[in-house]
Amino acid sequence: MTKEWVEVQISEGNYDLVDIAETIKIAMNQNGHNDESIKITANTNTLKSVLEIQDDFQVDFRARNSISSVL
């Protein structure tokens, strides 16, 4: 089975972690994917974000202008 990469674009703006997570969920729904498969939360003890990926999804942060530095 060939896997398909889907690029999610987030418009420039001032987003907090909840806004980023919600924008990704909306994009996943629009592409017919389960929006519960990827969760982004904050670890307030370490001041880092936590990206949980379920099912058979992969995230590639090597794309130009990715949000990797934010997360």
HSE (side-chain half, CA atoms, 13 Å) at 36:
0
Alpha-carbon distance of 38 to 26, in angstroms, equals 12
Q: Supply the range of the domain harboring residue 39.
A: 12-56
Task: List for the chain the helix, strand, coil content (%; round to 5).
Answer: 25, 15, 60
46 part of a folded domain: yes
**Do 35 and 28 touch, CB atoms closer than 8 A?**
yes
6 part of a folded domain: no
DSSP per residue over 35-54, as a string? TTSEEEEEETTTTEEEEEE-
65 part of a folded domain: no
Reported as a single tens digit per residue, the pLDDT across 50-59 is 999 988 888 8
4 part of a folded domain: no
What is the pLDDT, as a whole number, of residue 41?
93
Count structural domains, the chain: 1
47 part of a folded domain: yes
pTM recorded for the entire structure: 0.77
